[in-house]
Structure 1
Amino acid sequence: MTKVDEVLESVLEGYASFLRERMLAPLRHQPYLVRWVQEFLLFAEQHRGYTFEQTLELFLAALGERVSITPWQIQQAADALRIYRYQYRADASRAEEARPTPTTTGTDEGQLARLQEVIRLRHYANSTEKAYLNWTRRFLAYRHQAGLTGEPTAADVKAFLTRLAMVEKVSASTQNQAFSALLLLFREVLRRDLEEMAQTVRARRGRKLPT
């Protein structure tokens, strides 16, 4: 199982627990709601750059084209996804904000200090420095929370960016800023071969729905 698969599995398990605890649907219906969320998240990975509501509209339209899907199933999918986005994710975001920031290690602090030096030598704006250091700190904290050891890898970056897109639902520009910060970390601090990072999934900037 890849780290991306692990992120998806964790999200679905959390959503299933949320449905059970809040009794938001009959028990016999809950597995179907979880399945709709799984299908939607996989669909969203192939349709990046849209807002949640735009992606939902595209997803429901795609369901409507399946001859085996009935109108009540489309409504069930819409209900499942709005519970996921506006109730489950809202609760998860509040819990994330309340969680204390993990303590960084001496190695982490050394990497952050070297990254800050690189940024200042390049005369980046203060706002860029603050944002890049924040994303790097969050990435390193994510690795600790996930129990990852050793030097950061491209797979770690991909899992982190996937979490931002699929779990935290950040905008494309925000995800790309995080990627840029980590790209600088890898190139200038870790001195790592970036060939494998070319495969890292990045969100495309938003675009209008076709009319």
Structure 2
Amino acid sequence: MANSPLTDKQRIFWSRFSKHLIQEGIKPESVRWYRIRAEQFIRAFPHQRLASLTPDDVSAYLLRLGESPNLRPWQYLQVVDAIQILYKLARTEWSETFDWDYWRASAKALEPQHATLAREYVPLTSAEFVRYVGDKRFAPLILSHQPVFEKLIAVMRTRNMSIRTEKSYMGWICRFIHHCDGQAPTSLGAAQVADFLQYLAVTRNVAVSTQNQALNALVFLFNKVLEQPLGDIGPFCRAKRPRRLPTVLSREEVRRMLGELTGVPWLVASLLYGTGMRLMECLRLRVQDVEFERSLIMVRSGKGNRGRRGGLAVRSPLDA
């Protein structure tokens, strides 16, 4: 459209389009971007008139566009708004009842404080550090070594690590420093780490996964934050891994459990059972992450911040 001269009718249409945007509160300097979004939509349906497109055509377009990893939520909102205004001006009957808000909601990004996302680094005050860790016992310790914790958060967030990992690592580092009588982490090393890990296994009787989590936190602290690689920690008592048989529900038990759920909890539980997704991966799904035609689900920012595709069952796995 931009490569060929506009007709008088087209000029009038785009002039009305721009005026409508400004009436809706869009800044004049942003109007051209909305027009670009609208033109891209029109070009996606060559040889078809705007009025001839159906709600399914618009939904399919928005669904495909939402799969683009390079499209940010605010850009997606521009697309939805631009298409809606196109149809307002075209006065298409179905556009009045089309669920535009549904597609706007699907573009919402998670809040920065969401537990599954790392946030941009913003230095915390002393009081905020204490509230952040959530354990008042560590308040004096955190305030005494605040620069270390500030750098820890900065390094983790620049690596886009999750908030849950961040809080977990901070908790273990607090416990480690507390175990070492509040000494500065820069004065500690492999011997103190081995002693702490042995204390967890022998005195606290923690599980293997708990001890490993503490080890990972301390290795990260020394290697990435303090830039004092631990090297060989040496021998220490490993937590024992208990041998347990997994509890597996039968199909009938799963059917009864799902039968007690309704609404969103039922949907989440069904998706978890049918796809094998992790809980937070399921809770972060957006409508554009589901490809109904191909029976696929796009998992974005999964474990290790990696995306992947998974199968979407056409029918309930319980009916197989």
Normalised-by-shorter TM-score class: 0.3 to 0.5
Relative to the length of structure 1, the TM-score reads 0.45
Relative to the length of structure 2, the TM-score reads 0.30
Query: Which structure shows the higher helix fraction?
Result: 1
Asked which structure has the greater CA Rg, the reply is: 2
Greater RCO, 1 or 2 (C-alpha within 8 Å, sep 6+):
1
